[in-house]
Structure 1
Amino acid sequence: MAIRFEGEDDEYKSITCYCEGHCPSGEQYGTCQTRPGGRCFTSVEIKYFDDGTSETVLSYGCLPPNGMAQFQCRGKMLSALQNKIMKCCDQYDHCNKHLLPVLQNHNDSSNNYWDGMTFKVLAGSLTISFVVLIVVLLTMYIKYKKKEKNLQQAGPEEPNRTIKIPNNLVENNIVDISKDFTQQNKIDERSNSKSTLDNSTSGLVQRTVSKQIQMDLLIASGKYSEVWRGKWRDENVSVKIYPQKYEHKWLWETEIYESVLMRHENILGYIAADIIGAGLTTQMYIITQYHELGTLHNYLKKHPLNVKQLVKLVQSLSRGLSYLHIEVFGCKGKPSIAHNNINSKTILVKRDKECCIGDFTKAVKFISTQNKLEAPIDIYNCEPRYLAPEILDRNFDQRNFECYKMSDVYSFALLMWEMLNRCEFQGTIQKTKYKWPYEDKIELGEQNWSKVLDVVKQERPEVKEEWFNEPLLKVIAKLLLECWNMNPWARHTILRIKKTLLKLECDDL
């Protein structure tokens, strides 16, 4: 099918054109003869030079009868992209001599560049982006309204749980009841997932870990939980079991264990947490590493210490507590954690005779970048003989995290005394007997804070003179005297204590 252009006759013919710059014989001026169907042309081109000048070049000649050449006569984009424009004719001989194509300056034509296809593409892109944004916003809004509606529907059926607070703590302003304390959402999340595992073990531990454990020995039983020894994958593990009514304690301790970067050689190794139905009740498990030597309390009752063992125990305990207190910054940093229940029954002794810290039911955590402090409600429902004097005296700023750390240091000093009191060395102290701190003054199981405070205000556990005759024991004895000071701000930080203890050198520790 032939293409007919403007000005063509019904029958193709050859015409004579004026030529200049494009003459067939190479002459400057003259004429040229087109082939049948060819056309005459006149073109204007602006040439730009490096020095910033330009020159307008006018050309005349003949075009062959092919589609591409004829298309150039209609190519309007030539003026914008190549600084050139061409007009054609075939009505009569030398018709191109009278053609006057107009070429705008390049700078002027650039203003029209956005006209046409480029403008259409840009407008289409902006329109599509705007539509996508509207769709995304509508989707987010619909999901938000749906979630809000579900929460409103669940409200009457699942009311928030309230946790009872001991009257003495409320009356003495130890617990701030002005803040709403609702753990239902967190408990529901934990229940829905059935098992929540530490990041480092989530790929190795199945979510039904509780069903894989075989209990074989009850280790300890307390007011809120029991601790069992169990078999899991042919290895002994420790299983702390909470009844359903104490699920808020299970939730809080699990949350502490699952804090980022909580792994440390002197912190009890966490494996998993799980919920399991036991008949008509529900039990909540916290599975940790098992240490056959048991708690520091039981170990000291059965075994006296020599100087090397004492130094190793206090050094390892200071490393663990120091790591708890320190805050690790980063995208997924570790919060600063105060244990808040340091005593010889919450410390375990590992096979290598080092300590590791467990039982985080009373722990307090603090994120300095958010100025956020979190603590359990029944924070001081624990052994009062280890509580710092400022807590017993109700002169404690519960919103200041440094106060919790100084309280840990006081309890740490009592632990150093327990270990020192069980240390034997030849020629000076032999046949020691285990004693609780303040055992002669405070009855076991005493829960009256006023009675404990009266004792603490007057005296401290006995510091033996023989301890100052042995260089290593002297350093530890001086430390504990400085760390159980009545004034919390006069006590050393645990980092300072750790550095002092790590300077102690004992052969073959």
Structure 2
Amino acid sequence: MATPNHSESPSFQQQGRLLCHCEGHCPPPALSEGLPNNTCLARVGAKCFSAVEEVYDLEAGRLVAERTYGCLPPDHMSGLLQCQGHLVPHLNPTSIACCADENYCNRHLQPTYTPTPLHEAQRRRRCTPAGFWHGPDHVFGLFVILIALAFLRYKKREDKRQKYMLTARSDPDGFTHSHPGTLNDLIEQSSGSGSGLPLLVQRTIAKQIQMERSIGKGRYGEVWLAKWRGENVAVKVFFTTDEASWFRETEIYQTVLMRHENILGFIAADIKGTGGWTQMLLITDYYENGSLYDFLAHNTLDVEQMLRICHSALCGICHLHTEIHGTRGKPAIAHRDIKTRNILVKLDGTCVIADFGLAVRYDSEKNEIDIGAPNPRVGTIRYMAPEGLDQSLNTSLFSSFLHADMYSVGLMLWEVGRRTMTGEKRMVCDESQLPYYDFVNPDPSFDEMLNAVCSKQIRPALPHRWQTSPALSGLSKVMVECWHGTPSARLSSLRVKKTLTNLLMNELPPASIKMI
């Protein structure tokens, strides 16, 4: 089919600007409005390009060539350097060709590269789900035993992968509604360390996602609903000015043994973009109920639902706070920004903890606190503990961060309690509100919160109706101890989790009690 020529159309007559074919490096929809599909408009003095890179193909189980097309920035903005990029050594073999002859001239460019040698490709396979370890032959007997164990483990994973691939091929539309665990299957084939997928696989997934619609915006980025092979995923796109937060959150998700049923499931992270735009992506599980804040605004709860939400949230926080010792143990982690907007609700009514851009890690063996790169974010002022507001928090003690988390937990429990129905003849509840809504402005300043929380020592009011419910009465006692003015007097996440477990088991009928 002949390439369409839009150069004669008035809307595309831009002096010195080319129309280029784009694939894999197309600009966001807002920057390509009015252009044909798979087309980008180069800037003045810029060229079209075609690039080829060697990537790992999950289905084929081998390294393959992936071709991309798009527009480069002008020569004075590093376009010339990018056209020579293949002359610089890269982790993966790559090559690029540029042209400026005519519109869509890059359609016919076919740059080539030198494939990775066989021995190097085999070494890289160790980083993929389908690979297995080829250890050094120090002691022949031990070597044979280790290879046998590795092969058995590899065979089990390969059987799962083949089953998954067969299922995917049997669905002509690429959807797998009847088998919703395909991403889970892929994660199960990874190292088993609980630290996420191999980086090469993450990059492959990031390139294959299809953005659908924006589902939320914040000060630090935008969240999109996207699809990967028919499965819904959430993609958090960070602003370029908040690279530190993207890097920190990705780093925390890659922590060994981080995966937990009440921690937002991490899938992949990648940086995409050419020229004047860059996208820093964080791909996670998607939950259609959204944040706990939105869920409470549109739903009321019975006592059992309230306890399930609170208990599951504390299970996630307790997992974060707990250090797991071992050869590859998990450090203790403080969240530092716990609030209902950073907790997501699953379809089964339980919760997961999200947003780790401010998290702090602690290694007790080395007695080191890992705060990460300098970041201007200090958490959400409304949920900030008194010692954070008056700047008396001791950052040299990791326990100080845990105590501050528990203050925020108390406020979160208060928000959930307000939406819980009570009463005998007529069930009632309170409207959804943020903590201190009746004492400070909707967007409070630092000084406002300092005056209310520290100077006046105000805490959220506990409705009298809560005393008529044993569960809410017990929950109110937990809140009071969590937002205590003295940090060391606050309950630990484990103590709160155990209290909520007891309240939940007392509320459930005997026939439905399971291991909690």
With the shorter chain as reference, the TM-score category is 0.5 to 0.7
Q: Once the 2 structures are TM-superposed, how far is the Cα of residue 471 of structure 1 from its aligned partner?
A: 1.0
- Post-superposition CA distance 1:112-155 (Å, at most 9, x none): xxxxxxxxxxxxxxxxxxxxxxxxxxxxxxxxxxxxxxxxxxxx
Residues 273-292 of structure 1 mapped to structure 2, 5 A cutoff: 273-277=269-273, 279-292=275-288
Equivalent residue, structure 1, for 2:408: 411
Equivalent residue, structure 2, for 1:86: none
SS for the counterpart of 1:337 is strand
Number of aligned positions between the proteins: 318
Q: Once the 2 structures are TM-superposed, how far is the Cα of residue 200 of structure 1 from its aligned partner?
A: 4.6
Equivalent residue, structure 2, for 1:251: 247
Letter in 2 for 1:487: T
Out of 446, 450, 453, the residue aligned to residue 449 of structure 1 is 446
Contact residue 195 and residue 258 of structure 2 kept, 8 A: no
Out of 357, 363, 367, the residue aligned to residue 367 of structure 1 is 363
- Post-superposition CA distance 1:14-51 (Å, at most 9, x none): xxxxxxxxxxxxxxxxxxxxxxxxxxxxxxxxxxxxxx
Contact residue 208 and residue 274 of structure 1 kept, 8 A: no
SS for the counterpart of 1:208 is helix
Instruction: Tell me, in whole angstroms, the C-alpha distance in 1 between the residues paired with 2:468 and 2:428.
Output: 15
Contact residue 438 and residue 460 of structure 1 kept, 8 A: yes
Equivalent residue, structure 2, for 1:231: 227
Equivalent residue, structure 1, for 2:260: 264
Q: Once the 2 structures are TM-superposed, how far is the Cα of residue 364 of structure 1 from its aligned partner?
A: 0.7
1:479 corresponds to 2:470? no
Residues 449-468 of structure 1 mapped to structure 2, 5 A cutoff: 449-457=446-454, 458=456, 459-468=458-467
Q: Which has the larger radius of gyration?
A: 1
Letter in 2 for 1:276: K
After superposition, the CA RMSD in angstroms is 2.4
Instruction: Tell me, in whole angstroms, the C-alpha distance in 2 between the residues paired with 1:276 and 1:215.
Output: 13
Instruction: Tell me, in whole angstroms, the C-alpha distance in 2 between the residues paired with 1:244 and 1:433.
Output: 37
Q: Once the 2 structures are TM-superposed, how far is the Cα of residue 313 of structure 1 from its aligned partner?
A: 0.6
Question: Relative to structure 1, is the Cα distance of residues 246 and 465 closer, same or farther in structure 2, using a 3 angstrom cutoff?
Answer: same
Question: Relative to structure 1, is the Cα distance of residues 203 and 393 closer, same or farther in structure 2, using a 3 angstrom cutoff?
Answer: closer
SS for the counterpart of 1:432 is coil
Residues 131-150 of structure 1 mapped to structure 2, 5 A cutoff: none
- Post-superposition CA distance 1:241-293 (Å, at most 9, x none): 12333222111110000000001000000001111115522211110000000
Out of 290, 300, 303, the residue aligned to residue 304 of structure 1 is 300
Letter in 2 for 1:484: W
Equivalent residue, structure 1, for 2:198: 202
Letter in 1 for 2:198: S
SS for the counterpart of 2:499 is helix
- Post-superposition CA distance 1:335-387 (Å, at most 9, x none): 10000000111000011111100000111111110111111423643320100
Residues 330-341 of structure 1 mapped to structure 2, 5 A cutoff: 330-341=326-337
Question: Relative to structure 1, is the Cα distance of residues 500 and 216 closer, same or farther in structure 2, using a 3 angstrom cutoff?
Answer: same
Contact residue 304 and residue 432 of structure 1 kept, 8 A: no
Contact residue 196 and residue 253 of structure 2 kept, 8 A: no
Instruction: Tell me, in whole angstroms, the C-alpha distance in 2 between the residues paired with 1:276 and 1:250.
Output: 13
Letter in 2 for 1:398: T
Letter in 1 for 2:233: V
Equivalent residue, structure 2, for 1:420: 417
Instruction: Tell me, in whole angstroms, the C-alpha distance in 2 between the residues paired with 1:222 and 1:232.
Output: 24
Question: Relative to structure 1, is the Cα distance of residues 356 and 206 closer, same or farther in structure 2, using a 3 angstrom cutoff?
Answer: closer
Q: Once the 2 structures are TM-superposed, how far is the Cα of residue 217 of structure 1 from its aligned partner?
A: 1.3
Contact residue 362 and residue 379 of structure 1 kept, 8 A: no
1:294 corresponds to 2:290? yes
Contact residue 219 and residue 228 of structure 1 kept, 8 A: yes
List gaps (5 residues or longer) in structure 2: 1-89, 95-123, 129-189
Contact residue 266 and residue 317 of structure 1 kept, 8 A: yes
SS for the counterpart of 1:425 is coil
Letter in 1 for 2:488: W
1:491 corresponds to 2:490? yes
Equivalent residue, structure 2, for 1:502: 501
SS for the counterpart of 1:256 is helix
- Post-superposition CA distance 1:74-123 (Å, at most 9, x none): xxxxxxxxxxxxxxxxxxxxxxxxxxxxxxxxxxxxxxxxxxxxxxxxxx
Instruction: Tell me, in whole angstroms, the C-alpha distance in 1 between the residues paired with 2:264 and 2:376.
Output: 21
Instruction: Tell me, in whole angstroms, the C-alpha distance in 2 between the residues paired with 1:213 and 1:345.
Output: 25
Instruction: Tell me, in whole angstroms, the C-alpha distance in 2 between the residues paired with 1:266 and 1:474.
Output: 25
Contact residue 301 and residue 421 of structure 2 kept, 8 A: yes
Which deviates further from its counterpart, 275-284 or 222-231?
Answer: 275-284
Question: Relative to structure 1, is the Cα distance of residues 324 and 209 closer, same or farther in structure 2, using a 3 angstrom cutoff?
Answer: same
Q: TM-score, normalised by structure 1?
A: 0.59
Contact residue 216 and residue 231 of structure 1 kept, 8 A: yes
Runs of 4+ in 1 over 6 A off after TM superposition: 195-198
Letter in 2 for 1:235: E
Instruction: Tell me, in whole angstroms, the C-alpha distance in 2 between the residues paired with 1:284 and 1:431.
Output: 41
Residues 10-409 of structure 1 mapped to structure 2, 5 A cutoff: 199-202=195-198, 205=201, 207-277=203-273, 279-376=275-372, 377-378=374-375, 380-409=377-406
